[in-house]
Chains A and B, each alone.
Chain A
Amino acid sequence: MTGLLAQATTKGPPINWEALSPFIALVAGGCIVLLVGLARSAFIRRQVVPVLTLLTLGATAGLGVWQWDINEGIVANAMVVDNLTLALTMIFVAGGIAAVFLSWRSIASAEAGEGEYYALMLMSILGMLVLVAANDLVVLFIGFELLSIPLYVLCATHMRREQSLESGLKYLIIGSVGSATLLYGLAMLYGAAGGTNYGDIAAVAAEMADDTLFMVGIGLVLAGLAFKASVAPFHQWTPDVYEGAPTPVTGFMAVATKAAAFGVIIRLFVGPLIDATTTWAPAFATLAVITIIVGNVGALGQSSLKRMLAYSSVAQAGYMIAGVVVTTQLGIAATVFYLAIYVVMNLAAFAVITARERETGLGDDISSLYGLGRDRPFLAWPMTIAMLALAGFPVTAGFFGKIYLINAAVNNGYGWLGVVIVVGSAISLAYYLRVVAAVWMREAPAASTSLSAVPIMAGGSPEGDEAAYAAGREPGADVGRVVSEDFGEPSIITSGPRISQPEVIFVAVFCALVTIAFGVYPEPLMDVARDAGEALQSLR
């Protein structure tokens, strides 16, 4: 027994603890948050726990910056911490921080228990980190599941709302199918390559490119990852899950999960499978076209903002695939750049949706934005800037994001993909501008329509709960009081009582400012993106 232990210690790989430190910070922070969340004091649960979560995320980001430029394999080469991993870490952390701010007064975190809610979020971020750092098929799958399982739960945290539960269940089932597909594909790759490390796969990729087992493996892996990245035709879950999940969780999923999925796609396909490009590039290019078209057309008729943003995220995924498919460092840099700005653009939008959801009782319907431009500039402008940026208007980061991607596409002979991106953007104008029009060009609904909204609120509906909870009342417990209070002045329900939620407005305004700042001077972010692209040395 002792001999066995001694043997084990000698065989243990040397571990670069410094490089591993961002991971450790997340694990430790997750545990602490979970334990502190057990406290009975409402103050500790509602204020201290989110602050601890923020500290954890800040520490992770700080450690990531500290490890910038180390570019080495850690833990027996099972993971790689390089600039791509770290750049994506920053994106996950940014998404996480925003999600914490948006969840601060959210009913979902209260119903699930703050400790669990925030710990799950941290674990999910850890999963993303592991996923994009993975240099081994097994680690990849561990990361994939660590990312997904907390999210299944998070989607269902708004427990008294049917759609939230439905969303969680749907995500669980479809996500499991995706995981199974991925796992099957990974097994085949292992079978073909004879090893799980990316190095083993890279060694055989060139000669095995036409091997049936290998090709099927690639196909299944591609499909599994496409589920997570919501690439059409594997995107069907996206609108339903986005709509049902609590808005802060949706925002987190939309940005961080997307970044993680693209991170692993880059890491795996543009890494060890680079010599098999002829096998997977045509498939991916086709998927890009389908995704751009399906996403943009699907978004056209949506009146739910979250559904619209879900389809928009599908379309945006299509644009980003174009950057992956060209398999150049420039393309990767463009993708990472686009991912980063995609995060801020979307978070601004989700912050505004969260704010209006609490104020209006209209949920995430587009009508909740009516008349916003007249008296709520701090919500109206962020939403406007976010939509214009997503559509690729100049003086927002989205403009340079598109130029960067098109540049990468044209540079390596994929000019036609550039044209598809442009056509997609043209279609997207219709639905992005619809939101802008709702903000600026529609009047806030009159009192007569708001009367009909009263029963919604009185009935203890989810939206009413959200509003009531954010206003400082316990959800559901005082339905009667809500009615008696609000019936006298019904207009405040739809035009929206002003709820003090400075952190949500902060997220919206901050993200909008960043979008503009990178639209005027994108150079710093492009430097980071270029460093991330250069981490993949197999490329030119």
Chain B
Amino acid sequence: MTIHLSILVFFPALMGLVSAFSPRSLAPKILLVGTLIPLAYTIYMITDFDAGAGLQYVTDDAWITELGIRYKLGIDGLNLWLIALTCVVAFASAVWLSVRTPERAGLFCFHFALGQTAVLGAFVAQDLALFVLFFDLMLVPFYFIVGQWGSGDRAAAALKMVIYTLVGSLLMLAAAVATAVLSNPGGELSFVLTDLQANLLSESQQKWLFVAFALAFLIKMPAFPFQGWMPDAYRSMPLPALAFFSGVVSKVAAYGFLKLVLPLFPAATNDWNVILLILAVISILYGSIQAFTQTNARLILGYSSIAQLGFITLGIFAIDASGQGAQGALLQSINHGLVVAPLFFVVALLAERAEGSEDIRDYGGIAFRAPVLAALFLIVALATLAMPGSANFAGEFLILLGAFSSVQALAFLASIGVILASVYALRMYIRSMHNRVGPKVTSFEMTLRDGLVLVPLVLAIIAFALYPQLALDAGEATVRSTVEAVLR
């Protein structure tokens, strides 16, 4: 038994448990340690990773033999960089929590750390039941965070979020069990992904199970028309948690498509992919249009996430011969996480300069007295709109390239989204930073401690813009073989 990945996954939760019993001032510091160690370990893994060697750092132990569930974890090209993203964003959120400690911080840190553990677990799980377990678990801490520390009608927002997403998850639970049972009828039950991949189901069986899985992931993203829970939850969730939730948790859904749906249901993917592509394009257009009509800064970001995740879905289901769409989707998952998290922190900083208002109509002229903040915001905003030179540009370019080579009409519609992205990103930037000084605005420069949160994230964006190839190389082989299996 190798325990490397177990440490990576459970260390945050362990530290979270410790911080739950710590005094208020100490709790975020302990959380900081809990996020720092996994981050350091991930960086080590990135340097150590061998792109050609398939699954690495494998932990494979019997867990529940009665149900054929194994405790199997592993790192491959698909999840390596997503894990890095998780650790980076979690670390940034932990720094933020140390600077601005919420009340009952111990419990907050516990929930947050549990969330990180669940996300990491979902990324490294190589067993379907284990994935479902972590995927469902992900929701619990955020339910408590929204319900206890949220603003506005938090209990209702929390309930809405849970019911929406768990309905999908429960269907996925049933579908996962059905997949395992049907793939080896009468034989030994096994949820291990490689076993399931070896005994693919018939096309008619795949069709129905695909729907359950797709529903769970589309709700989680969220994609049109399943975004109903998003506005309330985004409006209510505390910003450090929201940065992590929007930046990372939604990527688990995208990862689920690449890791589970395509390999396990290749025939059904071929049958359904047009529907998924249409939903993706609608998500792009709907999300973009909403993003430049909303005035609440959180919702602008929320709807822009819908658009961005639409791009990611588009790339995954483009299923072009060379797998460029899916590669772009993987890259874009990391990019979007990296840009949306700092944007939420920026929103928090903006709100501090406008009497707590998160409405961009109350903003304006903030850049004048906060040039560093403005510069950082500008970099992130440009990355969001996929400025050439940013990694987002590379990601969107690959996605559209893939889409053009398989479904031209939809790709054309989707490329409108690229233009719209610049509209909403720049609108938000200009409305807050430039223009006349808003009625509520009293601007001041960001502090060094806020810089500790934002600067590393911005540096990561820049680094990634320079070397997107790193992530692409790691995932290329896996992504390509996944797409080829569907095309076959």
Contact = CB atoms under 8 A, between A and B. Distances in A.
A394 B137 contact: yes
Interface stretch (B169-177, B342-350, B363-371): B169-177
A410 B137 contact: no
A521 B62 CA distance: 11
A406 interface: yes
A483 B394 CA distance: 75
B292 interface: no
A392 B137 CA distance: 11
B90 to A, nearest CB: 19
Interface string A421-436: 1100110011001101
B155 A442 contact: yes
Interface stretch (B36-44, B159-167, B432-440): B159-167
Nearest to A529: B66
Contacts of A426: 163, 166-167, 170
Nearest to A430: B163
A422 B64 contact: no
A411 interface: yes
B137 A523 contact: no
A439 to B, nearest CB: 10
Nearest to B135: A394
Contact of A415 (B159, B173, B178, B180): B178
Contacts of A392: 170
B170 A425 contact: yes
Contact of A410 (B104, B136, B181): B181
A15 interface: no
B286 interface: no
Interface stretch (B140-148, B304-312, B409-417, B466-474): B140-148
B174 A422 contact: yes
Contact of A406 (B143, B159, B177): B177
Interface string B102-113: 001000000000
Nearest to A530: B66
Contacts of A419: 174
A441 B236 CA distance: 13
Contact of A393 (B129, B136, B189): B136
Interface string B254-271: 000000000000000000
Contacts of A395: 133, 137
A86 to B, nearest CB: 19
Contacts of A418: 174, 177-178
Q: Which of A395, A441, A526 has the most CB of B within 10 A?
A: A441
Contacts of B163: 426, 429-430, 433
A440 B147 contact: yes
A356 interface: no
Contacts of B132: 394
Interface stretch (A31-39, A161-169, A190-198, A396-404): A396-404
A403 to B, nearest CB: 6
A523 B65 contact: yes
B138 to A, nearest CB: 9
Q: Which of B129, B159, B177, B178 has the most CB of A within 10 A?
A: B177
A373 interface: yes
Nearest to B156: A437
Nearest to B168: A426
Interface string A367-399: 000000110000000000000100011110001
A388 B137 CA distance: 11
B166 A437 contact: no
Contacts of B147: 436-437, 440-441
A530 B180 CA distance: 20
Contacts of A523: 63-66
A411 B181 contact: yes
Given A422-B171, A426-B163, A403 B136 contact: no
B182 interface: yes
A199 interface: no
B136 A394 contact: yes
B165 to A, nearest CB: 10
Contacts of A333: 66
Nearest to B144: A440
Contact of A441 (B67, B129, B158, B166): B158
Contacts of B182: 410
Given A400-B64, A437-B158, A522-B64, A388 B140 contact: yes
A394 B134 contact: yes
B154 interface: yes
Contacts of A388: 140
Interface in A11-48: none
Nearest to A405: B177
A407 interface: yes
A393 B135 CA distance: 10
Nearest to A404: B67
B329 to A, nearest CB: 27
B159 A407 contact: no
Nearest to A418: B174
A393 B147 CA distance: 17
B171 A441 contact: no
A210 interface: no
Nearest to A423: B170
Q: Which of A392, A407, A530 has the most CB of B within 10 A?
A: A407
A200 interface: no
B184 to A, nearest CB: 11
B152 to A, nearest CB: 12
Contacts of B171: 422
A433 B159 contact: yes
A522 B162 CA distance: 26
A440 B145 CA distance: 10
A489 interface: no
A407 B189 contact: yes
Interface string A256-271: 0000000000000000
A527 B66 contact: yes
Interface string B436-462: 000000000000000000000000000
Contacts of A433: 143, 159, 162-163
Contacts of B174: 406, 418-419, 421-422
B133 A399 contact: yes
A415 B174 CA distance: 9
B212 to A, nearest CB: 9
Contacts of B166: 426, 429
A406 B171 CA distance: 11
Interface string A322-336: 000000000001000
Contact of B177 (A374, A393, A403, A434): A403
B66 A403 contact: no
Q: Which of A394, A430, A521 has the most CB of B within 10 A?
A: A394
B162 A429 contact: yes
A394 B129 CA distance: 10
Contacts of A406: 173-174, 177-178
A426 B219 CA distance: 14
Nearest to A402: B173
Contact of B67 (A403, A421, A434): A403
A530 B178 CA distance: 21
A433 B173 CA distance: 19
Contacts of B170: 392, 422, 425-426
Contacts of B181: 407, 410-411
Given A411-B181, A441-B158, A526-B64, 5 more contacts: A394-B137, A395-B133, A406-B174, A410-B177, A437-B147
27 contacts: A374-B104, A393-B137, A394-B137, A395-B133, A395-B137, A403-B129, A403-B177, A404-B67, A406-B174, A407-B180, A410-B182, A421-B174, A422-B174, A425-B170, A429-B162, A430-B159, A430-B163, A436-B147, A437-B147, A437-B155, A437-B159, A441-B147, A441-B148, A442-B155, A521-B63, A523-B63, A527-B66
Q: Which 7 A-B pairs have the closest CB atoms?
A: A526-B66, A394-B133, A441-B147, A441-B155, A422-B174, A410-B181, A394-B137
Interface of A: 333, 373-374, 388, 392-395, 399-400, 402-404, 406-407, 410-411, 415, 418-419, 421-422, 425-426, 429-430, 433-434, 436-437, 440-442, 521-523, 526-527, 530
